[in-house]
Amino acid sequence: MNDLECQNRKSTGTEGLMTRRKERSPSHVPHSGNTDEDILARLGHQQELERKLSLLTVGALCSCLMATWEALATVIASALISGGAPCLFYNYLISFICTMCIALSLADIASVYPTAGGQYHWVAALSPPSTRSAAAWATGWISVWGQAIFSASAAFAAGLQIQGLITMNSDSYNPTRWQDFADYQRGFGGWSNDGVAWLVGLQSAVYPFLGYDAACHLSEELPHASRNVPLAMLGSVAFNGLTGLIYCVVLLFSTQSLDTLLETPTGFPFIAIYLDVTKSKVGATILSAIVPVIATAASVAGMASTSRTLWAFARDKGTPFDKQLSHIHKGVKVPVNAICVIGVLQLLLGLIYLGSSTAFNAILSMAIIGLYLSYVLPIIYQLAYGRRRKDAERLQGWFKSPVRVGITLNSISCAWIVLVIVFSTFPTLMPVTPQNMNYSLVVITGVLFFGIVYYIYHGRRKFEVPILEVSVIEGQG
């Protein structure tokens, strides 16, 4: 038994645990090939899902889930309040560049460890044995919740946009839960410091770039995953970034009075822009209706991705009711139970809106914080431990950044993510009141607290840290 195998056995906790995993999955017999099934077996799992998706299919799903230009239309108000048109444009460019750095960092890891678990599996692979179980479980917990909130935010946005269209077309309809942008200080949201106001507006440029990690969670349904997962991630970011940039420029050139946009009764400035340009409610409705349709599709794509993460996490016994959630339907070959649970979670998250008129901003902030935390953890472990391993040069997939380039990308990604997370907890408007307070930090803290309690009293005794028998993964096809 070589040193790497010894280390991996220690990481799972006990010899008995290893025995149980081998009985559950006969694929733990050593493999020397580089087929997708061989690679998955060395990562501790047997093939359960059908690899029937293509690179184009997964890339399209990621692009649909990100829906950058549509998401930008949804959250444009935050940037206009915080710093006006310059805030939106320059923050978008910065976010595009930094998102590419994050995607490149994650693509490096995903190419070596192409599993549906994604981030938590990567942390298990990269972290030291002393913290492996806790770090992997925490990442999985955060990842599932972050993705669930993100996919719910798309459905949330679609519902609010439909309500906005009804408001525009019906003089008698009076929505009871709209954000009120009437009381703001032009361009700075009430913040006395221009820099803080600008950074608070980051939310509007970061949110449209979430979701590209969906390719990782569909990797067990994708042939040549070591190659195709990085391509799908990077391709979707590049495509969405460019289309979003074009839309951003066109939208800003069409913008008239900032006051008029932020005081629109529809709640969405992009609807007001379409109405101003077309001079027709019918025309504005047709153009605007495209956005909630795409948002609904994004929510469905998010459900597909998130359900695979939940299924993978349950497969490693990281969740309550893991046996039920890790079940694959024999007929359709998908995790039906996990899909249903994610659907219910989306419905429950939508109920937040009944208690707060600023719930939408809180949902956006929670999605950003949750997903960015799940992105930064594997990058930190890659930077701190993964690149220092003696076998680091052997552990490489089809996609591999040069060492110095990789370190630079990792460092930029970590700095950007920390900055974004900090300012995602800030309220959009000042002064802060119970009505406009950003409650995202409270909710995220509650999710983490519940997770910690569950892990300490139950989860750590049954969570099976993924086995890591990884050899060199050479480029495929």
Choice between 328 and 362, residue whose per-residue pLDDT is larger: 328
Report the C-alpha gap between 388 and 420 in whole angstroms: 27
Q: Which residue, chain included where needed, has tokens 């153009």?
A: 287
Lowest mean pLDDT among 157-166, 186-195, 346-355, 445-454: 186-195
Contact predicate 406/105, CB 8 Å = yes
* Domains in the chain with CATH codes: 51-462 (1.20.1740.10)
**Average pLDDT of the residues in 66-88:** 84
The pLDDT of residue 403 = 85
The pLDDT of residue 261 = 76
Residue 247 pLDDT more than 70?
A: yes
Residues 6 or more apart whose Cβ sits within 8 Å of residue 195: none
Contact predicate 169/285, CB 8 Å = yes
Q: Roughly what angle, to the nearest 10 degrees, separates helices 403-424 and 359-384?
A: 150
Confidence of residue 179 (pLDDT cuts 50, 70, 90): very low
Is residue 129 reached through a cis peptide bond, with omega within 30 degrees of 0 on the bond before it?
no
pLDDT in tens, 275-304: 888 889 999 999 999 999 999 999 999 999
Report the C-alpha gap between 323 and 430 in whole angstroms: 48
pLDDT in tens, 180-231: 443 444 444 556 666 777 788 888 899 999 999 999 999 999 999 999 999 9
Percentage of the chain beyond pLDDT 70 is 81
The pLDDT of residue 55 = 93
- Give the residue among 411, 315, 272 at the shortest CA–CA distance from 120: 315
The pLDDT of residue 374 = 95
- What single letter denotes the amino acid at residue 218? L
The pLDDT of residue 430 = 67
Residue 308 pLDDT more than 60?
A: yes
pTM: 0.86
Contact predicate 73/80, CB 8 Å = no
pLDDT in tens, 356-370: 556 777 888 899 999
